[in-house]
Structure formats: C-alpha cells, structure tokens
Amino acid sequence: MSVDTLPISIGFGGGAELLFGNKKNFAISLPVQEITKWQISDLLKWIQDNLLKERPELFIQDNSVRPGILVLINDVDWELMDTINYVIQPNDEIVFISTLHGG
C-alpha cells in the first residue's frame, strides 16, 4: 500500500448510479495529506465534489445520505459501523444503495 493514498472501492446501485453518470463501480484513491483519518462524512463530501454529476439533493441531505439510501461498509449496514463517523480502512468497499419500490 502506498503511504500517500487510501485505496477504496465505491459502488452505487438501486438507481443511485444514475447520479454518477450511470456508473456502478469506482476504484478510487483518497489523498491522505490533508485528511489522515478519512471518515464516511469526509467521503460524502469528497463524492459530492468529485463524482456527483447532478441533483446533489438526491444523494446528500443534512451532511448525511438522503432518506431511502442505505450505506454498506464491506457488506454491513453502516448503522452497525458508527455511520458517518466510521474511519475508512484501506481496501474498504463502500456501497450506496437506493431502495427500490417497484413491483
């Protein structure tokens, strides 16, 4: 692992990918110069500045994700991982899933 970046993968699904140019998976490296301990709250801001293509209100509200989006950290609900305060580890997989309602 390189010392000056934090490599992680990010995923979007359930329609959330539409806000990111219809792309479901991103392999990214977060810079660790200014922020040494990346929390999910930092990542949300980073996503908004770097990946989000349109209608930010459909992804972020009140410094968290909007109602109806589930956040999964390595296949575990972020509620079990301290939500926005979770400290991101190298190679974490963080997935944002919009819930579906169709039937």
Partner 1 sequence: MPEETEVEQLEKEIEVLKQELKQKEARLQLLKSVKKQIVKHYSNHFTTDEITRYSRQMLVPAIGVAGQNALKQSNVLIVGAGGLGCPAALYLVAAGVGHLTIVDNDEVELTNLHRQILHTEADVGVPKVESALGKLSNINSNVKVNPLHLHVNSESLMGLLTKENFDVVIDCTDNVPTRYLLNDACVLKKIPLVSGSALQLEGQLTVYNYKNGPCYRCLFPVPPAPDSVTSCGDGGVVGIVPGVIGSLQALETVKIIADTSGVLNGRLLLFDGSNTTFRNVKLRNKNLDCQVCGSHPSITKLIDYEQFCGTRAHDKVINIEILSNSECMNVIQFSKVYEQAPIVIDVRPSVEYEMCHLTNSINIPYQDIEKDEHLDFLKELLAIHSGEKDVYVLCRRGNDSQRAVVKLRDQFRDSNFTFLNITGGLHSFAKQVDPAFPIY
Q: Which residues bind partner 1 (CB under 8 A)?
A: 13-15, 24, 54, 58, 66-68, 70, 72, 75-77, 79-80, 95, 97-103
Between 25 and 29, name the residue whose CB sits nearer to partner 1. 25
Q: Which residue has the tokens 């934090």?
A: 6
Between 40 and 97, name the residue whose CB sits nearer to partner 1. 97
Between 29 and 54, name the residue whose CB sits nearer to partner 1. 54
Minimum gap (Å) between residue 9 Cβ and partner 1: 13
Cα angle 31, 4, 42 (rounded to 5 degrees) comes to 25
Spatial contact of 48 and 59, defined as CB atoms under 8 Å apart: yes
Spatial contact of 19 and 66, defined as CB atoms under 8 Å apart: no
Minimum gap (Å) between residue 30 Cβ and partner 1: 23
Minimum gap (Å) between residue 92 Cβ and partner 1: 14
Q: For residue 41, what is the enclosing H or E element? A: helix 40-50
Minimum gap (Å) between residue 68 Cβ and partner 1: 3
Spatial contact of 87 and 41, defined as CB atoms under 8 Å apart: no
